[in-house]
Chain A
Amino acid sequence: MMAIPKDLIMELVRIVLYVVGFLAFIAVNAAYLSLLERKVPSWFQLRYGPKEVGPWGLLQPVADGIKLCAKQLLVQKGADVALFKLAPAMVVIPAIMSAVTLPFSETIVARNIDLGLLLIFSLSSIHVIGTMLGGWASCNKYSGIAAARVVAQNIAYEIPLLLVMVSLVMVTHTFNLHEIVNGQAGGFWHWNAFRLTASPLMPAAFIIYFICMLAEANRAPFDMLEAESELVAGAFTEYSGMGFGLFFIAEYANIVVGCSLGTILFLGGWHCPFGLLPGLHWFLIKMYFLCFMVIWVRWSFPRTQFYGLLNLSWKILIPFALAHLVLTSIMLKLL
């Protein structure tokens, strides 16, 4: 028998530990983000939010999870069973897989891939297919409409997102997320969001990224997918029990990954705003701050109309992102 190198075993163990760790991190975050989703608006809306289950409602996600697991998984007649069951998986898996290459601090990263940014974006396109399949396989007109809307919305908003990413990569000269963060070391004036030397539109690029992240995660005001008052639960109308639960976990996991990515790309990752003690805690603070912004925006605005949403992307964000791209390249050439 060939001797297996010790390094390989250690590397495999490390990878497994990290993967389990990240899985747990994303899952717990997704679950507790659902609690925050109900607590934060309670502050805006002069009410308490969940408080019965556990102190401060902390066991609410556990209770929700148990409830969802205990429900009967219904597949109605006429639905395409294989696709119906595949759809939640297709939505959840890419979100969790994206966490593989996210660096949480100088040393905490599962696998630092040189094309990390590209990997995350390719994975994030898969969840669109999952939602569309879920809506179509449900054999329900509401879900069908919602599926069509999801595809249109996600395609529209991927483009400005990628344009902004391209200009960012031009500035940072690398796809490697670890190095992107290290390029932002020092105080907050080194952060990519404020890197006006690269392009004066950089803060706008950050805002475009944030908006596109909201749209990709199907969050209000871009939640055409659910559009509760119009389409009941949209593409998820026919899902019960944990199938529905998986969609929800996927939504929150997408938010967590999107906010982490925003922190890494624009807000300096694990570096302190004043250049002092870098570390994991700064990463988490910034990430949770962005998550709070996401929840805040959701509960503050009504929903846009569908064509308003598409207009925003095609007529405003894309020209802006293109202008930003051109400006960045000009400035790179000149400076």
Chain B
Amino acid sequence: MAERTAPASGRTRLARALGPAAGLITVAVFFALLTGAPERYLSGANLRVVLAQTVIVGLGAIGMTLVMISGGIDLSVGATVALTGVITALALRDGASPAAAAALGVAAGGAVGLVNGLAITGLRIVPFIATLGMLGVARGAAKYFAGEQSVNPPPTWLNGLAVTFPSRKWMLVAPGVWITLALAVAMAVVLRRTVFGRRVFAVGSNEAAARACGIAVDRVKVAVYAAGGLFFGLAGVTQMSRLRQGDPTVAVGLELDVIASVVIGGGSLSGGEGSVAGSLIGALIMSMLRNGCQQMGWPTYVQEIIIGVIIVLAVAADRWRASRAEE
């Protein structure tokens, strides 16, 4: 058995990515036929709508992929998005330049993640509990900063970040979509090609082994949560730009969509597995589903049931493939 020439890991990785991609195609074909108007469902205009709607969850999913590969979880995504959106809006209202306001929002997200990481490593709290606590703290802070109401900043170019139809025609899709794609590529490269990326996998795969090999596990974890927080902060800036205001009550439960994206994309709650591409496809699957249901005129509860079933089926299919691969 040891002599058997097995597939190189590149091929298994491709096979893993194929599952979510096949799911995406299935959803697209299914609704294209069901709506009876494939040219409308798959039209450039509708795809632009879908992509613009996916930016926030997609950005969150990139950060969450990193966190979940390390064996952790972050439940404070929705609250962080609300908080960073409010902070960006406040900065704009108080006269900051759009770029400075956005940078402040992203940095605030990173700070929230840093606190999460320090709580998890310093106080030895499991990530589920530490970030559950942060969920409350960040949401409360957002309401405090906003004075319990929406913050309306003056209009700036930031508002065009995730619009469905960009003002400059040559961009084809919203700038936020391009930013998300660029960051996804960057994150994928970091995960595959850098020492830090491999150590994130090692910590999530077998923490004791990583520690015994002299890897500073705690430092890796803090970096992972802080980096994840930066992405959640950028998602918050995007959220503010879509609403054109800082709303402290927005994005409740967003973390569940984000986690679902990662899981549909092949990520594992027990760490060591996951890919940025898979997670983004997972996010797209959910957007395509929502969009398709809307076009069919189905009520939202149907969407909710379908997405719930898809999450369970996606993981079951992954388990099934894994057990077959072992034989």
Asked if A and B bind, the verdict is no
Chain B positions near chain A (C-beta within 8 angstroms): none
